[in-house]
Amino acid sequence: MAAKAQHAVGYRAVPPLLRTLREKANLTQRELGKRMGKPQSWIHNCETANRRVDLGEFVAWCEACGVKPLDGLKRFLKE
């Protein structure tokens, strides 16, 4: 059986990065969800690798946290 995409080695750094971005913005999961038009459970699932975040969602996440998407990508590449 194939592993789920969100568990791929190259993706492992993403969920903790998403959480760090949110926490550095001093946002709760609920507050971030409201900014993004998503429920709190969606934010939780992204941060715990139960759901994979695509590029567009990553950009929206960064913007909702007040981070330039390019800076968010640079942080990911450092991981």
pLDDT tens digits for range 52-67: 999 999 999 999 999 9
70 pLDDT higher than 80 = yes
Q: Quick check: 42 pLDDT over 50? A: yes
Task: Identify the pLDDT of residue 10.
Answer: 81
Look at the block and give the residue holding tokens 């981070």.
Answer: 67
Domains and CATH numbers, the chain: 7-78 (1.10.260.40)
What confidence tier does 9 reach under pLDDT thresholds 50, 70, 90?
confident
In the 8-state DSSP scheme, what is residue 51? S
The reported pLDDT for the residue numbered 1 is 44
